[in-house]
Structure 1
Amino acid sequence: MIFGIALVASSSLAMADERVVEKYGDFQCLNGFGLVQPRSNLVKVSMPQITEEQDLGNPLRTEVRINLPIQNKAPTDLYFASDFLFLNSAGRPIAALNVSSSDFRVGRGQSITASGVTSVSGSVGLQAKQLCMRWFIMQVPKSVSSGGDRVEDTAQ
Protein backbone atom coordinates (compact mmCIF):
# COMPACT_ATOMS: atom_id res chain seq x y z
CA MET A 1 0.00 0.00 0.00
CA ILE A 2 1.04 3.57 -0.56
CA PHE A 3 0.40 6.23 2.05
CA GLY A 4 0.63 9.84 1.31
CA ILE A 5 -1.46 12.98 0.55
CA ALA A 6 -2.41 15.63 3.00
CA LEU A 7 -4.92 18.44 3.07
CA VAL A 8 -5.74 21.04 5.63
CA ALA A 9 -8.44 23.57 6.24
CA SER A 10 -8.61 26.67 8.36
CA SER A 11 -12.06 27.68 9.52
CA SER A 12 -12.32 29.87 6.43
CA LEU A 13 -10.86 27.17 4.14
CA ALA A 14 -8.16 29.58 2.92
CA MET A 15 -4.69 29.38 1.29
CA ALA A 16 -2.16 26.54 1.41
CA ASP A 17 1.06 26.37 3.37
CA GLU A 18 3.00 23.24 2.50
CA ARG A 19 4.73 22.73 5.86
CA VAL A 20 3.72 19.65 7.78
CA VAL A 21 2.89 20.85 11.29
CA GLU A 22 1.33 17.80 12.88
CA LYS A 23 0.76 14.13 12.28
CA TYR A 24 -2.35 12.49 13.69
CA GLY A 25 -1.79 8.75 13.48
CA ASP A 26 -1.22 8.04 9.80
CA PHE A 27 -2.91 11.32 8.88
CA GLN A 28 -0.88 14.26 7.64
CA CYS A 29 -1.96 17.79 8.51
CA LEU A 30 -0.79 21.08 7.02
CA ASN A 31 -1.41 24.76 7.73
CA GLY A 32 -4.01 26.50 5.57
CA PHE A 33 -5.93 24.60 2.93
CA GLY A 34 -4.38 23.01 -0.11
CA LEU A 35 -3.65 19.84 -1.93
CA VAL A 36 -0.35 17.99 -1.94
CA GLN A 37 -0.02 15.50 -4.77
CA PRO A 38 0.72 11.90 -3.77
CA ARG A 39 4.33 10.79 -3.86
CA SER A 40 3.20 8.25 -6.39
CA ASN A 41 2.86 8.32 -10.14
CA LEU A 42 -0.17 6.00 -9.94
CA VAL A 43 -2.79 8.72 -9.46
CA LYS A 44 -3.40 12.42 -9.84
CA VAL A 45 -5.85 14.00 -7.42
CA SER A 46 -7.60 17.36 -7.70
CA MET A 47 -8.80 19.78 -5.04
CA PRO A 48 -11.66 18.24 -3.06
CA GLN A 49 -15.06 19.90 -2.88
CA ILE A 50 -16.38 20.09 0.69
CA THR A 51 -20.02 21.00 1.25
CA GLU A 52 -22.24 21.22 4.31
CA GLU A 53 -26.03 21.04 4.46
CA GLN A 54 -28.37 21.02 7.41
CA ASP A 55 -29.67 17.52 8.10
CA LEU A 56 -33.39 17.70 7.26
CA GLY A 57 -34.19 14.91 9.71
CA ASN A 58 -32.39 16.64 12.61
CA PRO A 59 -31.85 20.44 12.49
CA LEU A 60 -29.09 20.19 15.14
CA ARG A 61 -26.94 18.09 12.80
CA THR A 62 -25.03 18.97 9.65
CA GLU A 63 -24.28 16.67 6.72
CA VAL A 64 -20.69 17.02 5.48
CA ARG A 65 -19.88 15.74 1.99
CA ILE A 66 -16.48 15.48 0.27
CA ASN A 67 -16.00 14.88 -3.46
CA LEU A 68 -12.42 14.13 -4.52
CA PRO A 69 -11.63 13.92 -8.27
CA ILE A 70 -8.91 11.34 -9.00
CA GLN A 71 -7.30 10.11 -12.20
CA ASN A 72 -5.71 6.68 -12.55
CA LYS A 73 -2.36 7.10 -14.30
CA ALA A 74 -1.30 3.48 -13.76
CA PRO A 75 -1.20 0.82 -16.50
CA THR A 76 -3.62 -1.31 -14.47
CA ASP A 77 -6.74 -0.92 -12.31
CA LEU A 78 -6.36 0.52 -8.81
CA TYR A 79 -8.16 0.30 -5.53
CA PHE A 80 -8.42 3.77 -3.96
CA ALA A 81 -9.72 5.10 -0.66
CA SER A 82 -8.94 8.04 1.60
CA ASP A 83 -9.88 9.13 5.09
CA PHE A 84 -10.50 12.74 6.12
CA LEU A 85 -10.22 14.01 9.68
CA PHE A 86 -11.42 17.45 10.80
CA LEU A 87 -9.63 18.86 13.86
CA ASN A 88 -10.72 21.73 16.12
CA SER A 89 -8.41 24.45 17.49
CA ALA A 90 -7.26 22.11 20.29
CA GLY A 91 -6.23 19.50 17.70
CA ARG A 92 -9.05 17.13 18.63
CA PRO A 93 -11.13 15.33 15.99
CA ILE A 94 -14.64 16.69 15.45
CA ALA A 95 -15.53 14.66 12.35
CA ALA A 96 -14.11 11.84 10.26
CA LEU A 97 -15.19 10.25 7.00
CA ASN A 98 -14.04 7.82 4.33
CA VAL A 99 -13.94 8.86 0.69
CA SER A 100 -13.93 6.25 -2.09
CA SER A 101 -15.45 5.35 -5.42
CA SER A 102 -18.57 3.18 -5.39
CA ASP A 103 -16.57 -0.06 -5.43
CA PHE A 104 -13.16 1.40 -4.42
CA ARG A 105 -11.92 0.54 -7.91
CA VAL A 106 -10.58 2.98 -10.52
CA GLY A 107 -10.13 1.49 -13.98
CA ARG A 108 -6.92 1.87 -15.94
CA GLY A 109 -6.67 5.40 -17.38
CA GLN A 110 -10.06 6.43 -15.95
CA SER A 111 -11.02 9.53 -14.00
CA ILE A 112 -13.67 9.30 -11.29
CA THR A 113 -14.92 11.32 -8.36
CA ALA A 114 -14.55 9.54 -5.05
CA SER A 115 -17.01 10.73 -2.42
CA GLY A 116 -17.96 10.34 1.20
CA VAL A 117 -20.52 11.78 3.60
CA THR A 118 -21.04 11.96 7.36
CA SER A 119 -23.36 13.72 9.80
CA VAL A 120 -22.03 15.82 12.68
CA SER A 121 -23.42 18.16 15.32
CA GLY A 122 -22.94 21.83 14.49
CA SER A 123 -20.94 23.19 11.58
CA VAL A 124 -17.60 21.59 10.74
CA GLY A 125 -16.73 24.65 8.62
CA LEU A 126 -17.01 26.92 11.64
CA GLN A 127 -15.28 24.59 14.11
CA ALA A 128 -12.55 22.99 11.98
CA LYS A 129 -9.07 24.49 12.07
CA GLN A 130 -7.36 21.67 10.19
CA LEU A 131 -8.40 19.09 7.65
CA CYS A 132 -6.13 16.05 7.61
CA MET A 133 -6.07 13.24 5.10
CA ARG A 134 -4.54 9.85 4.54
CA TRP A 135 -4.99 7.81 1.42
CA PHE A 136 -4.58 4.24 0.30
CA ILE A 137 -3.81 3.05 -3.21
CA MET A 138 -3.31 -0.56 -4.19
CA GLN A 139 -2.47 -1.62 -7.71
CA VAL A 140 -4.72 -4.45 -8.88
CA PRO A 141 -2.54 -7.19 -10.38
CA LYS A 142 -2.90 -7.41 -14.16
CA SER A 143 -3.96 -11.06 -13.88
CA VAL A 144 -6.92 -9.99 -11.71
CA SER A 145 -7.87 -6.87 -13.68
CA SER A 146 -7.86 -8.84 -16.93
CA GLY A 147 -10.16 -11.50 -15.45
CA GLY A 148 -7.54 -14.10 -14.54
CA ASP A 149 -7.70 -15.95 -11.24
CA ARG A 150 -4.02 -15.66 -10.33
CA VAL A 151 -3.39 -13.05 -7.64
CA GLU A 152 -0.03 -11.35 -7.29
CA ASP A 153 1.06 -9.07 -4.46
CA THR A 154 1.87 -5.74 -6.11
CA ALA A 155 1.03 -3.45 -3.20
CA GLN A 156 3.54 -0.65 -2.94
Structure 2
Amino acid sequence: MNIEEQIQAYISSQPEPKRNDLQALHNTMLRVMPGYKLWFLDGKNSENKTVANPNIGYGLHTITYADGKTRDFYQIGLSANKTGISVYIMGIDDKTYLARTYGEKIGKASVSGYCIKFKKLQDINLEILEAAIRSGIENKHA
Protein backbone atom coordinates (compact mmCIF):
# COMPACT_ATOMS: atom_id res chain seq x y z
CA MET A 1 0.00 0.00 0.00
CA ASN A 2 1.20 3.48 -0.77
CA ILE A 3 0.98 6.30 1.80
CA GLU A 4 -2.37 7.62 0.58
CA GLU A 5 -3.87 4.11 0.79
CA GLN A 6 -2.44 3.66 4.30
CA ILE A 7 -3.97 6.98 5.35
CA GLN A 8 -7.39 6.02 3.96
CA ALA A 9 -7.21 2.58 5.62
CA TYR A 10 -6.34 4.24 8.94
CA ILE A 11 -9.18 6.75 8.68
CA SER A 12 -11.62 4.01 7.62
CA SER A 13 -10.62 1.88 10.61
CA GLN A 14 -11.83 4.51 13.09
CA PRO A 15 -15.29 4.31 14.67
CA GLU A 16 -17.85 7.00 13.91
CA PRO A 17 -17.99 9.95 14.51
CA LYS A 18 -14.18 10.01 14.78
CA ARG A 19 -13.88 8.62 11.22
CA ASN A 20 -15.82 11.55 9.73
CA ASP A 21 -13.89 14.06 11.85
CA LEU A 22 -10.52 12.61 10.77
CA GLN A 23 -11.59 12.59 7.13
CA ALA A 24 -12.75 16.22 7.38
CA LEU A 25 -9.42 17.22 8.98
CA HIS A 26 -7.46 15.27 6.36
CA ASN A 27 -9.40 17.06 3.60
CA THR A 28 -8.68 20.40 5.32
CA MET A 29 -4.98 19.57 5.49
CA LEU A 30 -4.86 18.65 1.79
CA ARG A 31 -6.53 21.98 0.99
CA VAL A 32 -4.28 24.02 3.33
CA MET A 33 -1.07 22.19 2.35
CA PRO A 34 -1.52 21.21 -1.33
CA GLY A 35 1.43 19.31 -2.74
CA TYR A 36 3.17 18.96 0.64
CA LYS A 37 4.77 15.65 1.57
CA LEU A 38 2.37 13.10 3.12
CA TRP A 39 3.45 10.76 5.92
CA PHE A 40 1.87 7.79 7.62
CA LEU A 41 3.45 6.46 10.80
CA ASP A 42 1.89 3.24 12.06
CA GLY A 43 3.05 3.77 15.65
CA LYS A 44 5.32 0.71 15.66
CA ASN A 45 9.02 0.58 16.45
CA SER A 46 11.70 -1.43 14.64
CA GLU A 47 10.65 -4.54 16.59
CA ASN A 48 7.04 -4.10 15.36
CA LYS A 49 5.83 -3.19 18.86
CA THR A 50 3.17 -0.50 19.15
CA VAL A 51 4.76 2.48 20.91
CA ALA A 52 2.44 5.30 19.81
CA ASN A 53 -0.89 5.96 18.13
CA PRO A 54 -0.68 5.84 14.34
CA ASN A 55 -0.55 9.29 12.80
CA ILE A 56 -0.85 11.13 9.52
CA GLY A 57 1.71 13.81 8.75
CA TYR A 58 1.89 16.72 6.33
CA GLY A 59 4.87 18.77 5.20
CA LEU A 60 8.52 18.50 6.15
CA HIS A 61 10.22 19.65 9.34
CA THR A 62 13.78 18.83 10.38
CA ILE A 63 14.19 17.93 14.04
CA THR A 64 17.58 18.75 15.53
CA TYR A 65 18.46 16.78 18.64
CA ALA A 66 20.67 17.95 21.52
CA ASP A 67 23.58 15.89 20.19
CA GLY A 68 23.37 17.73 16.84
CA LYS A 69 21.84 14.83 14.88
CA THR A 70 18.90 15.66 12.65
CA ARG A 71 15.87 13.77 11.43
CA ASP A 72 13.19 14.59 8.89
CA PHE A 73 9.67 14.59 10.29
CA TYR A 74 6.30 16.11 9.45
CA GLN A 75 5.29 19.72 10.16
CA ILE A 76 1.67 18.98 11.06
CA GLY A 77 0.31 15.67 12.33
CA LEU A 78 -3.13 14.15 12.97
CA SER A 79 -3.80 11.22 15.25
CA ALA A 80 -6.84 9.52 16.72
CA ASN A 81 -6.51 8.66 20.40
CA LYS A 82 -8.78 6.99 22.96
CA THR A 83 -10.59 10.20 23.84
CA GLY A 84 -10.57 12.05 20.52
CA ILE A 85 -8.14 13.58 18.05
CA SER A 86 -4.75 15.25 18.41
CA VAL A 87 -3.29 17.80 16.00
CA TYR A 88 0.48 18.22 16.31
CA ILE A 89 2.20 21.41 15.15
CA MET A 90 5.92 20.76 15.08
CA GLY A 91 8.80 23.22 15.25
CA ILE A 92 7.40 25.65 17.78
CA ASP A 93 10.25 27.01 19.87
CA ASP A 94 8.04 29.00 22.25
CA LYS A 95 6.16 26.30 24.19
CA THR A 96 3.53 28.82 25.37
CA TYR A 97 2.72 30.11 21.85
CA LEU A 98 -0.17 27.77 20.94
CA ALA A 99 -1.97 28.04 24.27
CA ARG A 100 -1.42 31.80 24.50
CA THR A 101 -2.45 32.53 20.91
CA TYR A 102 -5.27 30.01 20.30
CA GLY A 103 -6.18 28.37 23.63
CA GLU A 104 -9.05 30.64 24.67
CA LYS A 105 -10.48 30.98 21.14
CA ILE A 106 -10.40 27.37 19.93
CA GLY A 107 -13.23 25.94 22.02
CA LYS A 108 -13.27 22.72 24.06
CA ALA A 109 -9.67 21.62 23.51
CA SER A 110 -6.52 20.98 25.50
CA VAL A 111 -3.66 23.05 24.07
CA SER A 112 -0.04 22.29 24.98
CA GLY A 113 3.34 23.29 23.58
CA TYR A 114 2.80 21.59 20.22
CA CYS A 115 -0.51 19.68 20.49
CA ILE A 116 -4.19 20.59 20.24
CA LYS A 117 -6.37 17.77 21.56
CA PHE A 118 -10.16 17.60 21.41
CA LYS A 119 -12.99 15.05 21.53
CA LYS A 120 -14.97 16.01 18.44
CA LEU A 121 -14.54 18.46 15.60
CA GLN A 122 -17.83 20.15 16.56
CA ASP A 123 -16.29 21.02 19.96
CA ILE A 124 -13.77 23.41 18.41
CA ASN A 125 -13.65 26.41 16.11
CA LEU A 126 -12.24 24.99 12.88
CA GLU A 127 -11.20 28.46 11.66
CA ILE A 128 -9.02 28.90 14.76
CA LEU A 129 -7.53 25.41 14.32
CA GLU A 130 -6.76 26.23 10.69
CA ALA A 131 -5.14 29.53 11.76
CA ALA A 132 -2.92 27.61 14.22
CA ILE A 133 -1.97 25.14 11.47
CA ARG A 134 -1.22 27.93 8.99
CA SER A 135 0.93 29.65 11.61
CA GLY A 136 2.83 26.39 12.08
CA ILE A 137 3.36 26.07 8.35
CA GLU A 138 4.55 29.65 8.02
CA ASN A 139 6.63 29.23 11.18
CA LYS A 140 5.69 32.71 12.41
CA HIS A 141 6.41 31.70 15.99
CA ALA A 142 10.05 30.68 15.63
TM-score (norm 1): 0.28
Normalized per residue, the structure richer in strand is: 1
Normalized per residue, the structure richer in helix is: 2
Q: Tell me which of the two structures has the higher relative contact order, counting C-alpha pairs closer than 8 angstroms and 6 or more residues apart.
A: 1
TM-score (norm 2): 0.30
